[in-house]
């Protein structure tokens, strides 16, 4: 009998990715304080990829308490430019600052996925995408944010690649699913190997 699957996320994007892939699962948001977990990691010099893994694991462990024996998928994404790790902008002014700081530079999106059963980590993975933003003028940034509005506040980079955010980029190196925040190909491969989904 295949183990039941649970997605430890409130993200509609992650849910949609699993639904579109034909997976049968339950979804439940984790109740953790991400900032409280991140701060000591960042101050200790943990890499953005390591931070994403720790957060993904914490989410999965929190949700696994409610689903004994189930295979729980935890995921998280961090965005970094050099040593700076970005968080979701608090308002449109901060979103504008984010976009201006990314202008003409290449940043990284680090997407982690972890599988946990009960309290045991059975698999972990991080995929990274490199995102090169074209040179942006302040006027364009202001008009762009006026058009997209509050949607800019829902992601760390203040952009949605699947929408108007695509206009910000000059080059993208990486997997589309990594950019959306859930590395689907390695996850599906691992679930098949474990017999959790049809192979």
Active site residues: 76
122 and 92 Cβ atoms separated by less than 8 Å: no
**Burial (CB count within 10 angstroms: exposed 0-12, middle 13-18, buried 19+), residue 167:** exposed
Is residue 193 classed as helix, strand or coil in its secondary structure? Answer: helix
What pairing do the DSSP bridges indicate for beta strands 106-117 and 84-86?
A: unpaired
Alpha-helical (H) ranges within the chain are 12-20, 34-43, 48-64, 92-102, 138-148, 176-180, 184-193
């Amino acid at each position: 009998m295949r183990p039941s699957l649970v997605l430890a996320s409130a993200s509609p994007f992650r849910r949609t990715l699993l639904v579109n892939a034909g997976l049968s699962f339950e979804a439940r948001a984790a109740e953790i304080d991400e900032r409280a977990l991140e701060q000591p990691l960042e101050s200790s010099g943990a890499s953005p990829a390591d931070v994403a893994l720790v957060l993904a694991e914490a989410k999965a462990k929190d949700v696994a308490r409610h689903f004994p024996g189930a295979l729980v998928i935890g995921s998280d994404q961090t965005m970094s430019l050099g040593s700076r790790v970005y968080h979701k902008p608090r308002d449109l002014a901060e979103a504008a600052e984010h976009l201006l700081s990314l202008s003409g530079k290449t940043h990284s999106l680090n997407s982690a996925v972890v599988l946990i059963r009960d309290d045991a980590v059975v698999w972990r993975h991080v995929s990274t995408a490199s995102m090169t933003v074209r040179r942006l003028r302040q006027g364009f940034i202001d008009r762009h944010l006026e058009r997209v509005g509050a949607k800019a506040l829902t992601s760390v980079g203040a952009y949605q690649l699947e929408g108007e955010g695509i206009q910000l980029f000059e080059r993208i190196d990486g997997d589309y699913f990594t950019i959306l925040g859930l590395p689907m190909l390695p996850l599906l491969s691992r679930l098949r190997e474990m017999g959790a989904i049809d192979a």
